[in-house]
Amino acid sequence: MSYDVIRTGMEARLIAISDSWPTAWANSGFDPKVSAIDSDGRPVPYQEAFMLRNTTVAAAAGTAAPNRESGIFQVTVCIPLGWGQSIADDRADAIRAQFPRGFASLLTPPDQFWIEQTPSVASGLRDEDWWRVPVSIGWVAYVYPP
């Protein structure tokens, strides 16, 4: 099991939201000045998504015990300034609903990961011409040694 497997699963759940938005994936070359512009040259909402890794710890003593991996899948909702707060709030709520606390996914048996807590939505902040609202999705995985 690798972080790549968990990241891919988290990205798939984000894509599965019915009104999929343009997404700036980690290290993808997404440029909001080009990729988040409609055919009339106006900015449109988009989201950024990437993984934040945490420290790996042994879940129990012994060489056969699993490792506890954890991290945050960070999604930031980006709305053009002047569009109002409700669009950002609605998107943040849709992301929270897609990653409910307790959602579990079996990786390669017996490895599994799940959403440890209800995703957190932080206060929005202005960044140049965008209003950005971070949504943090904490996850945990127990991975057994090969």
**Which CATH number fits the domain that encloses residue 43?**
3.30.2000.20
pTM: 0.88
Choose among 36, 14, 23, 27: nearest CA to 128. 36
- pLDDT digits over 49-63, tens only? 999 988 888 777 777
Longest dimension (CA), the chain: 61
Q: What is the mean pLDDT of the chain?
A: 87
Tell me the residue range of the domain where 53 lies.
3-143
The count of domains in the chain is 1
pLDDT at 1 over 60: no
pLDDT higher at 29 or 74: 74
